[in-house]
Amino acid sequence: MVNAVINGIPVKVEEGTTILDAAKTVQVQIPTLCKHEDLPPSAACGICVVKIKGNNKMLRACCTPVEEGMDIITNDPEIVDVRRTVIELILSNHPNDCLTCGRNNDCELQTLMANFGIQEEFFDKFVKKTPKDSSTGTVVLEPEKCIKCGRCVEVCQDVQDVWALSFLERGFKTRISPAGDINLADSPCVRCGQCSAHCPTGAIVEYDHTAKVWRELMDPEKYCVVQIAPAVRVSIGEAFGYPPGTNMTKKLYSLLRRLGFKAVFDTNFGADVTIMEEATEFVERFVHKKGALPLITTCCPAWVDFMEKFHSDMIDHFSSCKSPQQIVGALSKTYFAQDKKIEPDKIVMVSIMPCTAKKYEIKRDEEMFASGQQDIDIVLTTRELARMIKQAGIDMTQLPDEEADHVMGDYTGGATIFGATGGVMEAALRTAYFLVTENNLEKVEFENVRGLKGVKETSIMIGEFEIKLAIAHGLSNVEYVLNKVRKAKEKGEPLPYHFIEVMACPGGCIGGGGQPYMVKDSVRIARTKGLYADDEKSKIRCSHDNPFVQKLYNEFLGKPLGKKSHELLHTEYKGRPQYRK
Amino acid sequence: MQQKRILIKDTDLKKDRTRDFYTAFLTEIQDKKLEEKVQLVRVSDIGIYGKGLTVRVLPENFLYCDVETGDISRIVSESVVEGRPIEALLHKPDDKQLRLVLRNCGLVDPESIDDYIKHDGYQAIATILEKMTPEKVIEEMKISELRGRGGAGFPTWLKWKLTRAVEADQKYVICNGDEGDPGAYMDRSVLEGDPHSVIEGMMIAAYVIGATKGFFYIRAEYPLAIERVNRAVTQAHEYGLLGENILGSSFKLDIEIRLGAGAFVCGEETALISSVEGKRGYPRPRPPYPSVKGLWGKPTVINNVETLANIPLIMLKGGKWFSSIGTEKSKGSKVFALTGKVKNSGLIEVPMGTTLKEIVFEIGGGGIAGKKVKAVQTGGPSGGVIPEDFINAPVGYESLQKLGSIMGSGGMIVMNEDDCMVDIAKFYLRFCVDESCGKCAPCRIGGTQLLHLLEKISEGKGEIEDLDRLRRISRAMQKAALCGLGQTAPNPVLSTLRYFEDEYKAHIVEKKCPAGRCAGLFHFSIIEEKCKRCGLCFRNCPVQAVSGNRDQGYLIFEEKCINCGRCFEVCKFEAVSRG
């Protein structure tokens, strides 16, 4: 521990604590534009400067550790003036597009401008008009709004190991772009959207599809149905003043009806079906030795894209089962359409996702048209839905609770935890245990697969079998796990794992690229807690016990991995180049 | 007799005399039937000024000053034919200089390790390996009070001690040869002229901190330096001075060369480390300092070329000897690249504490063309302008800093009344804007805004509030830029504002550039009383801005004039005014 003084108040902090973090212990929030709690300091913006008494220089609070006996001043007229000048300089290099910007009212730069009361432009404007890059259809790059904080580059290269974004040129011409100055869609980008979730301004935002949804809702010919992903229910409240983790499921159901959706489904139902298929697939491969082990989960489209681009040698290990979103989509335009006697081409399936890559998944390949139509028509991220609610003028806080529509609105506790890292694994184990032993678990919780550790390795006993597991989230953690598998296969050694779960975003979908801004570990933990609480209060905790899933199989699908399942609920993968010409 | 080249230059710039001298020299060569063996060249610059007729005999490199026609036959018979110098005519460098760092340059063959060894080369490291502990070396360096010559002046012994104190399985020593100040070539000269001294310095540093691997970081624009360092490293390996068990001890060291692509910011140590690692040359925040986490995360010492070249000498002659030279806080000598409006420009080395006046007037021979010296710029783009009023200031880290400049790596540019201070500030700032890496906002945007304001002012579009803007941005850059480049980039602006604010105001308020440098802020007109109506200006104007005829006289139309100054130059009667 080291002792120091901040603004005259003594503090005692762990060695290595930065001035920025130490200041929080005495209720001082030092302003910064580039530092993000998820990322190491890049020290780019120069706003967090502070003084040490007796030293003429100013130091960056974000990257300077507190030293014994430091006497720190975090604000005085000179510091405030330097910060203001830097902010004004940044403004001189930033367009005044606030009113038409995707980050209006939710922008770190705008907030800082407001806090510093900047009411006129002191310096001449230098903004170079640069074209937008919306080639991926998932995130939009607007380099002219970039303040070069480096968060997106850091998150893309070091957290996600994708290396789609980098800095090009230098000095005043520095800009973010894929290497070689190509379109994002032609780069290794996997559309995880973590860049957009970490961007402090409107330089990278999700591709907005709200207008398209409004248009479809207005069309009397169309039958609009909607599904909400597990992770959305515990994060959307943040846009309306609720603390992270608040479960908004039932308010969301009533809200979506009021927006004009004729049927409200829950992606969690799809998750239960996914588990039926995937757990069966695992048992087939593990017990009956049909297919490659370890089995790797494929619910996450950014991970699928990453694997196809970077680890295509692992395709055999991939579960062929589609993601819950796609399952609900395919079933809506077949099972549901037949049941309600609606022409499938009249149905518009909208899904509310915590994710930008889901916008890519719906057209990933021809398997996503299993119903004969495009199974999912439009994907909205959590952030887009929050905007639609505000546009509609609906007071989220006062909405009554409602239930989802049957069949595809009913879910188990196993499904809802899909939104957190380890959740898919835990739900699959609950069902796999039943499939192997024909008994339900007495204790359904698997504590070892939970939590924010980058790679979780554990094993469980199912009957006489020991099943070795790995759970990775944050794409940079994948290589370690896969290399272990490769090494064992090469040397003919026993497999290190039998079952691997991968989620592209740190924390899983609750930390997805389409979620409300300023995600950090404390927020991830709170959202995760919200999901586990939803699981705990569920009467049914295992996917195979969901009566509506049973009904689906009895009435429509037959059995897991059956012919119909294969047609509608399974897909294939192929290696893709990291760079497209 | 081997092939000779004789260079001739009249350093007093008297055309007729040069021609006669050249003819006489040529006649002498022809008389002695040496045309085949001797090439006589009239050169445009020989490196010294105001020393009469000068003759340089190559390859021996005898330089003779104040030569007269009567000396020609002696020079040909003794120096050209027999290869002997004529002592009486030899150019004597002034005694204000003290060549410590440059001690071997020009004396020792830089391509021969044997020649270096003959001149006490590798003596220092041999002695150290035989009987000195690293602590003892640090102690000696502490006594010497040597400070880093790259510009910041950090005590070298302390840097070594801090790096030594960190425990690690691998440590590195790096020689920073990424010299980048415009007009500076101190490090290049040492690397080209005495590479072994630098290697020996690196060996001592490596021994002290416990490094087994060293890197030279040299900019790719220095091909000869790279070639010579490469050769020197190979030779040192062959002689067992690099590699395992050096000189029979357990000390081992390998040295490799890394080329820089000429980015100025890569002279900053953390950016340099990124560059050596093969990454984008971006500085990173300190701490951790390289002494704790440097190259590939390992403790690393980075010393400048000039610093390293000093070290063998210090170890041979003792720290006490070294600290007897210089001022209280700045010890030893410093190499400067003296250029600008001064008679003798070139590389000089003086003891710390020598005054600017001694450098400019005694070594440099004073201003050129009889014009008054107005200021001296030191420290390159990170430095500042010191006005003539402070010309008695001694060179040293603190003394120059007090005046708003810095010692820097050793650029020194003399300026006179023809130099516009706004223009000078603009020049340096443009350099820093071009060389900004773009990582931090204060430097990236601040530099561009400063340059924009200076351009505005030099075009006569400035407003008085711009001075406040210049000062505000400058302060924000000094306080909030990430690395030394950004923090010091405003120095040329601040120092010219500090001493020459009236020049800025002349540009802003009167819309005039007193030095006549800023196009647009002066114009040409014909002074009727002086005009002889010869019509030269009329005929020479490239844009027909001069109109009139020999009967009625001539006029310059301002709206057509492009301020090229042709009329001003061609007029023989000083009848064209500039103002």
Structure tokens at A34: 């580039």
Whether A202 and A218 share a structural domain: no
> Measured between CA atoms, how close is A107 to chain B, in angstroms?
18
Q: In which element (H, E) is residue B445 found?
A: helix B441-458
pLDDT for residue B181? 87
Instruction: Classify residue A388: in a domain, yes or no.
Output: yes
Q: How far is CA A226 from the centre of its chain?
A: 19
Maximum CA extent, chain B: 93
Bond into B59 cis (ω within 30): yes
CATH of domain B4-89: 3.40.30.10
Give the single-character DSSP code of A522. H
Q: Where are the domains of chain B?
A: 4-89, 113-322, 333-416, 421-508, 524-578
User: Considering CB atoms only, which of B287, B441, B479 is closest to A89?
Assistant: B441
Instruction: Classify residue A94: in a domain, yes or no.
Output: no
Report the number of distinct structural domains present in chain A: 3
Instruction: Classify residue A141: in a domain, yes or no.
Output: yes
Task: Say yes or no for a CB contact (<8 Å) between B436 and A170.
Answer: yes
pTM of the model: 0.88
Instruction: Classify residue A93: in a domain, yes or no.
Output: no
B304 Cβ neighbours under 8 A, 6+ residues apart:
B148, B149, B150, B175, B176, B187, B409
Q: How far is CA B93 from the centre of its chain?
A: 19
Query: How many angstroms separate the CA atoms of A361 and A299, rounded?
Result: 10
In one letter, which amino acid is B536? Answer: L
pLDDT for residue A179? 87
User: Considering CB atoms only, which of B285, B434, B436 is closest to A43?
Assistant: B285
Whether A150 and A250 share a structural domain: no
Instruction: Classify residue A87: in a domain, yes or no.
Output: no
Question: Within 10 Å of residue B227's Cβ, how many Cβ atoms?
Answer: 15
Whether A317 and A428 share a structural domain: yes
Task: Say yes or no for a CB contact (<8 Å) between A92 and B440.
Answer: no
| A476 φψ region: left (φ > 0), alpha (ψ -120 to 50), beta (else) | alpha
Task: Say yes or no for a CB contact (<8 Å) between B480 and A47.
Answer: yes
CATH of domain B524-578: 3.30.70.20
Comparing CA positions, the residue from B334, B342, B377 lying closest to residue B363 is: B342
Whether A168 and A222 share a structural domain: no
> Measured between CA atoms, how close is B438 to chain A, in angstroms?
4
> Measured between CA atoms, how close is A46 to chain B, in angstroms?
5
Comparing CA positions, the residue from A336, A402, A389, A330 lying closest to residue A362 is: A330
Q: What top-level class would CATH report for the domain B113-322? A: alpha beta
Positions of E strands within A202-303: 204-206, 223-228, 263-266, 295-296
Whether A55 and A173 share a structural domain: no
CATH of domain B333-416: 3.10.20.600
Task: Say yes or no for a CB contact (<8 Å) between B480 and A49.
Answer: yes
CATH of the domain at A36: 3.10.20.740
Token match 């009397």: residue?
A220
Buried b vs exposed e over A449-479: b needs ≥16 C-beta within 10 Å? bbebebebbbebebeeeebbbbbbbbbbbbe
Positions of A marked catalytic:
278, 281, 299, 319, 358, 361, 366, 509
Whether A149 and A266 share a structural domain: no
**Which is it for strands A465-473 and A499-503: parallel, antiparallel or unpaired?**
parallel
Give the single-character DSSP code of B5. E
Whether A191 and A244 share a structural domain: no
**Which is it for strands A455-462 and A465-473: parallel, antiparallel or unpaired?**
antiparallel
Whether A295 and A376 share a structural domain: yes
Whether A332 and A476 share a structural domain: yes
pLDDT digits (tens, 9 = 90+) for A446-479: 999 999 999 999 999 998 899 999 999 999 999 9
Note which residues in 249-278 of chain B have CB less than 8 A from chain A: 263
Query: How many angstroms separate the CA atoms of A116 and A89, rounded?
Result: 13
Task: Say yes or no for a CB contact (<8 Å) between B475 and A85.
Answer: yes
From first CA to last CA, the distance across chain B in angstroms is: 59
Mutate to test the interface with A, among B279, B445, B478 (most CBs of A within 10 A): B445
Query: How many angstroms separate the CA atoms of B193 and B309, rounded?
Result: 11
Closest residue in chain A to residue B476, using alpha carbons only: A82
In one letter, which amino acid is A9? Answer: I
pLDDT digits (tens, 9 = 90+) for A309-341: 999 999 999 999 999 999 999 999 999 999 999
Mutate to test the interface with B, among A86, A124, A177 (most CBs of B within 10 A): A86
- Min mean pLDDT across A226-230, A277-281, B409-413 is at B409-413
Q: Using alpha carbons only, how large is chain A's radius of gyration in Å?
A: 25
Whether A219 and A191 share a structural domain: no
Question: Within 10 Å of residue B414's Cβ, how many Cβ atoms?
Answer: 25
CATH of the domain at A279: 3.40.50.1780
pLDDT for residue B35? 87
Closest residue in chain B to residue A146, using alpha carbons only: B441
Q: Note whether B327 and B399 are within 8 A (CB).
A: yes
Q: Which residues of A touch chain B, with CB atoms under 8 Å apart?
A: 41-47, 49, 57-58, 60, 62-65, 78, 81-83, 85-86, 89-90, 92-93, 122-124, 126, 147-148, 150, 167, 169-174
Query: How many angstroms separate the CA atoms of B90 and B190, rounded?
Result: 24
What is the percent of chain A where pLDDT is above 90?
95
Where is the domain boundary, A206, A227, A248?
A: A206
Tell me the residue range of the domain where A122 lies: 117-206
Instruction: Classify residue A269: in a domain, yes or no.
Output: yes
pLDDT for residue A19? 97
User: Considering CB atoms only, which of B433, B439, B475 is closest to A82?
Assistant: B475
Judging contacts by C-beta atoms under 8 Å, the chain A residues touching residue B433 are 171-172
User: Considering CB atoms only, which of A43, A64, A81 is closest to B482?
Assistant: A43
Where is the domain boundary, A75, A97, A126?
A: A75
Query: How many angstroms separate the CA atoms of B536 and B240, rounded?
Result: 72
Query: How many angstroms separate the CA atoms of B163 and A286, rounded?
Result: 55
Judging contacts by C-beta atoms under 8 Å, the chain B residues touching residue A86 are 441-442, 446, 476, 480
Q: How many CB pairs below 8 A link A and B?
A: 110
User: Considering CB atoms only, which of A42, A123, A150 is closest to B469?
Assistant: A123
Judging contacts by C-beta atoms under 8 Å, the chain B residues touching residue A58 are 479-480
pLDDT for residue B60? 83
- Domain at B421-508: CATH architecture: Up-down Bundle (1.20)
pLDDT digits (tens, 9 = 90+) for A527-562: 999 999 999 999 999 999 999 999 999 999 999 999
pLDDT for residue A342? 96
Whether A183 and A304 share a structural domain: no
Instruction: Classify residue A81: in a domain, yes or no.
Output: no
Question: Within 10 Å of residue A270's Cβ, how many Cβ atoms?
Answer: 32
Q: How far is CA B535 from the centre of its chain?
A: 45
Whether A265 and A350 share a structural domain: yes
Where is the domain boundary, A172, A206, A240?
A: A206
Instruction: Classify residue A100: in a domain, yes or no.
Output: no
In one letter, which amino acid is A521? Answer: D
Judging contacts by C-beta atoms under 8 Å, the chain A residues touching residue B466 are none
pLDDT for residue B95? 75
pLDDT for residue B47? 63
**What tens-digit pLDDT sequence spans chain B (579 residues)?**
778 888 888 877 777 788 889 999 999 999 989 888 888 888 776 767 678 899 988 888 888 989 999 999 999 989 888 888 998 888 876 678 898 999 988 778 899 999 999 999 999 999 999 999 999 999 999 999 999 998 889 999 999 999 999 999 999 999 999 998 888 899 999 999 999 999 999 999 999 999 999 999 999 999 999 999 999 999 999 999 999 999 999 999 999 999 998 899 999 999 999 999 999 999 998 889 999 999 999 999 999 999 999 999 999 999 999 999 999 999 999 999 999 999 888 889 999 999 999 999 999 888 987 889 999 999 999 999 999 999 999 999 999 999 999 988 899 999 998 899 999 999 999 999 999 999 999 999 999 999 999 999 999 999 999 999 999 999 999 999 999 999 999 999 999 999 999 999 999 999 999 888 887 788 888 999 999 999 999 999 999 999 999 998 999 998 899 888 889 889 989 898 887
pLDDT for residue B354? 96
Query: How many angstroms separate the CA atoms of B75 and B2, rounded?
Result: 16
